[in-house]
Amino acid sequence: MLYKKREKSCKLLIMESLISRTDYSKEDYDECQKQVKGYEGECYFDTLIAGLTCDCLVLNDLLLEIHGTEFQIDVLVITAREILLYEVKNYGGEYLHKEGFLVSIPSGNSFHSPTERINRHTSLLQSLLETHHLKMPIEPFVAFVHPEFMLYDTSTIQKVLMRATFPKHFRKLNTQFDSLSKRHYLLADKLCELSSQTNRYLKGVPEYTYENCKKGIICSECKQFIPKISPNSKTCTCLVCGHTERVSAAIARHTLEYKRLFPERKVTVSNIYDWCGGVCPVRRIRSVLQKEYKPASVGRALHYV
């Protein structure tokens, strides 16, 4: 049972916005593409998890904190017997595991093995559960989902899943016939609550300001700017790809983007008008904000929350 759905991380959403609105460096662009690739790999793994028939609760993208240390869990599955942790990686290529590192066979480049990360997360989660007087055994796995990933000499590394081993792994899970109890749901609720209280993870996001962001309405499909919207039109059409969207939906989408990028700035009609590049009618912006948000203060200080 899907208990916490997957959504694009705040970090990825911000980086995707900045690609369109700022002058990105190659390093920042590569980091964004890395985030996109990772998200695509997680979505693929979600399709496998969705096939589980055993009684379980699936929680995606948990951002947790214990004693000032934040850690993120890609996938957590609560079964009647245990908690399963999955670190999902979408690497392609051929690798060797050597002394805690994955070494690329063609290039010789190396980086820390994700098994070190998942073991650390397991320890942190165990401590977090103990802090809240919760206790369940935890089984960690690193899932390499890329179809062209190959890891040689796996005798020195444990809990690794690859495409060829996924079916056997999930068949074994489906042999569990025990039912979940109330305590399992309480555990899931607590983890979701703690995740919602943890500050958003933005490490690696390039610095940006409101002033250096290009303003305007961006097509939701091809990410190009829409230069003009007719004052009385209920829809806006991208001149590049032809995608059509309701103006009200575009305003609501860009208001969310504005709030995500600049949580310290107030949501006002004039601010959203400026953020949308002045191409959306003020009356349409006011209508959207009145419908989607609650007014705060009065008069010239009116803003929405």
Read off the pLDDT of residues 108-118 as tens digits, 9 standing for 90 and up: 988 888 988 99
217-226, 228-237, 265-274, 294-303: segment of lowest average pLDDT: 294-303
Is residue 175 assigned to a domain?
yes
- pLDDT for position 12: 93
184-193, 194-203, 255-264: segment of lowest average pLDDT: 194-203
Indicate the length of the chain as a whole number. Answer: 305
- Strands of 145-220 (E only): list them: 149-152, 160-161, 217-218
Domain count, the chain: 2
Question: Beta-carbon neighbour count of residue 280 at 10 Å?
Answer: 24
Q: Are 18 and 58 within one domain?
A: yes
Q: Are 159 and 238 within one domain?
A: no
Six token digits for residue 2: 């899907």
Where is the domain boundary, 163, 197, 231?
A: 197
Mean pLDDT value across residues 254-278: 97
Q: Are 71 and 113 within one domain?
A: yes
Q: Are 134 and 238 within one domain?
A: no
pTM of the model as a whole: 0.88
Q: Taking the CA atoms of the chain, what radius of gyration do you get in angstroms?
A: 23
Is residue 302 assigned to a domain?
no
- pLDDT for position 268: 96
Six token digits for residue 97: 């595991």
Where is the domain boundary, 165, 197, 229?
A: 197
Per DSSP, the three-state class of 233 is: coil
Where is the domain boundary, 197, 228, 249?
A: 197
Mean pLDDT value across residues 80-109: 92
Is residue 207 assigned to a domain?
no
Mean pLDDT value across residues 6-28: 93
Q: Are 134 and 79 in contact (CB under 8 A)?
A: no
- pLDDT for position 155: 67
Is residue 301 assigned to a domain?
no
Q: Are 28 and 121 within one domain?
A: yes
**Alpha carbon distance 29, 33 (integer Å):** 6
Question: Beta-carbon neighbour count of residue 67 at 10 Å?
Answer: 8
Six token digits for residue 105: 């066979």
Q: Are 102 and 161 within one domain?
A: yes
Instruction: Give the domain range for residue 279.
Output: 215-292
Q: Are 45 and 89 within one domain?
A: yes
Q: Are 141 and 255 within one domain?
A: no
Q: Are 28 and 103 within one domain?
A: yes
Q: Are 232 and 292 in contact (CB under 8 A)?
A: no
CA 105 from chain centre, in angstroms, equals 30
Percent of the chain with pLDDT strictly greater than 90: 85
Q: At residue 281, what are phi and psi to the nearest 5 degrees?
A: -60, 140
Q: Are 151 and 70 within one domain?
A: yes
Mean pLDDT value across residues 203-208: 89
Q: Are 61 and 159 within one domain?
A: yes
Is residue 208 assigned to a domain?
no
Is residue 202 assigned to a domain?
no
What DSSP string runs through 31-83? Answer: HHHHHHHHHHHHHHHHHHHTT--SSEEEEEEEEEEETTEEEEEEEEEEESS-E
Is residue 298 assigned to a domain?
no
Torsion of CA 21, 23, 28, 30, to 10 degrees: 90
Q: Are 142 and 6 within one domain?
A: yes
Query: Shortest CA distance to 213 belongs to which of 163, 261, 174?
Result: 261
Is residue 205 assigned to a domain?
no
Name beta bridge partners: 35.
none
